[in-house]
């Protein structure tokens, strides 16, 4: 019998970091980790609709997991980084 996978699920929002370690059966996928993690995410956030990754690389809900993977749940950006940079440059407050 194969050993369970030890998976870490991470969700970070301003002022709060949630990290949960769970055990899943071999063959589990990202969707299984999201369902099993029980993270208390803001009520208006649908975990299944957010982008996810494994160690900083984008993944899908169907991506198979390996032992010791770190599943990261990404929040939507509030501002487009390129547009924010353009606005700073127009104001003259960019990096020096």
Homologous superfamily, domain 5-91: Beta-grasp domain (3.10.20.30)
Q: Going residue by residue through the chain, which has 96 residues, state the pLDDT in tens, using 9 for 90 and above.
A: 577 999 999 988 888 888 999 999 999 999 999 889 887 555 556 666 789 999 999 999 999 999 999 999 988 777 787 888 888 888 875 555
| pTM for the full predicted model | 0.75
Of all helices (H) and strands (E), which one includes residue 30?
A: helix 30-37
**Ramachandran region, residue 90 (left: φ > 0; alpha: ψ -120 to 50; beta: rest):** alpha
Q: How far is CA 85 from CA 18, 75, 76, 91, in A?
A: 29, 20, 18, 10
- Find where tokens 């390996």 sit: 66
């Amino acid at each position: 019998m194969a050993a369970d996978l030890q998976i870490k699920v991470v969700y970070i929002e301003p002022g709060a970091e949630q990290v949960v370690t769970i055990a899943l059966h071999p063959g589990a996928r990202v969707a299984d980790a999201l369902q099993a993690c029980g993270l208390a995410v803001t009520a208006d956030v649908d975990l299944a609709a957010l982008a996810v990754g494994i160690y900083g690389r984008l993944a899908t809900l169907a991506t198979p997991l390996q032992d010791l993977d770190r599943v990261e749940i990404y929040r939507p950006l509030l501002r487009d980084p390129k547009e924010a940079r353009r606005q700073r440059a127009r104001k003259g407050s960019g990096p020096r």
